[in-house]
Amino acid sequence: MTVMTYAEAARLAVAEAMRADDRVWCVGEDLGRGGVFKQYAGLPEEFGPKRISDAPISEACIMGAAFGAALVGTRPIVEMRFADFALCATDELVNQIAKARFMFGGQSRAPMVIRKPMGMWRSSAAQHSQSLESWYAHIPGLVVCCPATPQDNYSMMRAAIECDDPVVYLEHKNIWMMEGEVDTSLKAEFGKAQIRRTGSDVTLVSWSHTANLCVEAAETLAGKGISAEVIDLVSLWPWDKAAVLESVNKTGRLIVAHESVAVGGFGAEVVATMAQSTTFKSPPQRLGSPRSLIAYAPNLEDKLRVTADMIAGAATKSMESVA
């Protein structure tokens, strides 16, 4: 076990993969200076400009060029700098990369990792703060990951680089410096959730940074005598329906929380899937941001956040109501 930050864990995974396989390379804006969040620090010096490629400011060009490189046998890691900026390359990702294996009858594939730093972070305002994971979960052909811990950011990054399908890899900007133990021998599996805390009264389901808030909420609930089980999905597609169902069958109560907008969010998919498969003791609840633009002002930004207190409050309410 080694203690490292969330950013360091992913950087180590990338470096190890590049050392082991010369087909792995990185391309994106600001990589020559180690990345805007220093998530590539030291890699330009070790691997040089041909494998840590510092690209011009054209997301469509970056994504399209990397797609072509993937089709001819390399394994690019595409850095989009901010998840919001990646929208400039949506056609390349959604209409080309996601559909390549299907359109070519399995004769070709696009093994790519598309890194998209997501989420609210230090008053970054409406164009730099979005969480758009549900968009990509909707697109056939894409794997979607949202790691919440240094361990998962290491293990899932290794799995993403080794995957033969395109992986949309969403890292939350607010936890780059979060520290945790990392065991480099642990393997990750898409569609396999992490049970962050076991419990018997209520199930809390989340992903990305909000999963950490669910752990915090579970600790608060424990002080009230409420035993909460926390499930961190880690990947949204595929997602671990079996783990959530097993937990909800045990607790009879479900709270799904995420930072992204509640309307059309992936939390609705989780609730709907469970509603088709089990009976609840109280109505399931989902927490998400209101359908509002994210303000620059910290006090207004905070109005849109899902907090540990909100999650604990929803779980407490579920203990008091009956379906």
148 plus 14 within the same structural domain:
yes
48 plus 170 within the same structural domain:
yes
175 plus 210 within the same structural domain:
no
Contacts of 178 (CB under 8 A, 6+ apart): 5, 6, 149, 150, 212
Nearest to 42, CA basis, from 26, 61, 56: 26
32 plus 175 within the same structural domain:
yes
Report, as residue numbers or ranges, the catalytic residues: 128
pTM: 0.94
Structure tokens at 217: 């909420």
170 plus 226 within the same structural domain:
no
pLDDT at 323: 64
Residue that terminates a domain, selected from 155, 182, 209 = 182
Nearest to 163, CA basis, from 44, 6, 17: 17
Does residue 187 lie in a domain region?
no
pLDDT tens for the chain, 323 residues long, are 899 999 999 999 999 999 999 999 999 999 999 998 999 999 999 999 999 999 999 999 999 999 999 999 999 999 999 999 999 999 999 999 999 999 999 999 999 999 999 998 888 888 888 999 999 999 999 999 999 999 999 999 999 999 999 999 999 999 999 999 999 999 999 999 999 999 999 999 999 999 999 999 999 999 999 999 999 999 999 999 999 999 999 999 999 999 999 999 999 999 999 999 999 999 999 999 999 988 889 898 888 999 999 999 999 999 997 76
CATH code, 240: 3.40.50.920
The total number of structural domains in the chain stands at 2
Does residue 188 lie in a domain region?
no
pLDDT at 115: 98
Residue 251 belongs to domain spanning: 194-320
135 plus 244 within the same structural domain:
no
* Separation CA 44–CA 31 (nearest Å): 7
128 plus 169 within the same structural domain:
yes
Does residue 119 lie in a domain region?
yes
Residue type, 70: A
128 plus 157 within the same structural domain:
yes
Measure Cα distances from 124 to 67, 106, 176 in Å. 29, 41, 15
Does residue 212 lie in a domain region?
yes
CA 125 to chain centroid: 20
169 plus 215 within the same structural domain:
no
Q: Is 197 helix (H, G, I), strand (E, B) or coil?
A: strand
